[in-house]
Amino acid sequence: MNVSYTDMIATFGIGGAHPGGLSATKYIMDQLQLKPEEPILDVGCGTGQTLDYLAKNLPNPLFGVDQHQGMLTKAKKRLETHPTVTLKKANIENLPFTDNFFGFILSESVTAFTPIDQALQEYARTLKKNGTLILLEMTTNDILKQEQQAEIKQFYHIPKLLTEEMWCAAINQAGFQTVSAEVIPDKLENIIDFDLQTAISQEHFELMATHYQLTEKYKDLLSARLYYCKKE
């Protein structure tokens, strides 16, 4: 079997698979003022922890997309009682929505896993004028050595590693005029949840262990940043 990091998260059914988990989501949402009619998109929604929180706290139409069937199946189960939530199986590089549709797009540890420039262009296309994009993404504190980059990219299947400066440049390039960045506060308790499959192979446990080893190994070189962006 050839299991990816994302397959491993889907098999454990991890909800809140981003630094800070639900605490980070609450931290982000507490800073926003959204009009109740504005549609919200959670890109790479995973097993739906964030959409569940949003559906319980906001009247807005909510949309989630993810390309991974295992994630979506668990998200559908979690969200079946929320009539305001629509889930779609889709690639972020080709979002199944019309131009200028969303008021807010949220990416929690997702865009770093995609062809970043294409994903940002899709966010810019589907967001309304004055719409908000918030990204919570893996960021390198400096340019890493080739072998360090290779180890991280290979394990997480990510195309490239960006510094904060590189993220801001890519976001600007995609058409967002206002960008500010913040290191996610340390004080946030990491709130995640699990929807476990009955049979979990040794390989999945090994991948989980490697993820924690890499997190520890690179803790001074990688951090999670929040990017606040406006389409003007």
CB of 232 to ligand SAM, least distance (A): 26
Q: How is residue 191 annotated by DSSP?
A: B
Contact flag: residue 18 with ligand SAM (CB under 6 A): yes
Contact flag: residue 67 with ligand SAM (CB under 6 A): yes
CB of 53 to ligand SAM, least distance (A): 11
Contact flag: residue 132 with ligand SAM (CB under 6 A): no
Strand partners, 62: 40, 85
Contact flag: residue 46 with ligand SAM (CB under 6 A): yes
Closest CA to 132 of 93, 102, 109: 102
Q: Which is nearer to ligand SAM, 37 or 135 (CB)?
A: 135
Contact flag: residue 104 with ligand SAM (CB under 6 A): no
C-alpha to C-alpha distance for 46 and 42, rounded to whole angstroms: 9
Looking at residues 147 to 206 of the shown chain, list those that interact with ligand SAM (rule: CB under 6 A). none
Closest CA to 168 of 129, 144, 193, 139: 139
C-alpha to C-alpha distance for 95 and 77, rounded to whole angstroms: 22
Q: What is the three-class DSSP state of 104?
A: strand
Closest CA to 76 of 87, 91, 65: 87
Q: Which is nearer to ligand SAM, 45 or 179 (CB)?
A: 45
Pairing outcome for strands 127-140 and 222-230: antiparallel
Contact flag: residue 52 with ligand SAM (CB under 6 A): no
Of residues 39, 62, 108, 127, which one binds ligand SAM by CB under 6 A? 108
Of residues 51, 55, 105, 110, which one binds ligand SAM by CB under 6 A? 110
CB of 54 to ligand SAM, least distance (A): 12
Phi, psi of 76 (to 5 degrees): -60, -45
| Binding residues vs ligand SAM (CB under 6 A) | 6, 9, 15-18, 44-46, 49, 65-68, 71, 91-93, 108-110, 113-114
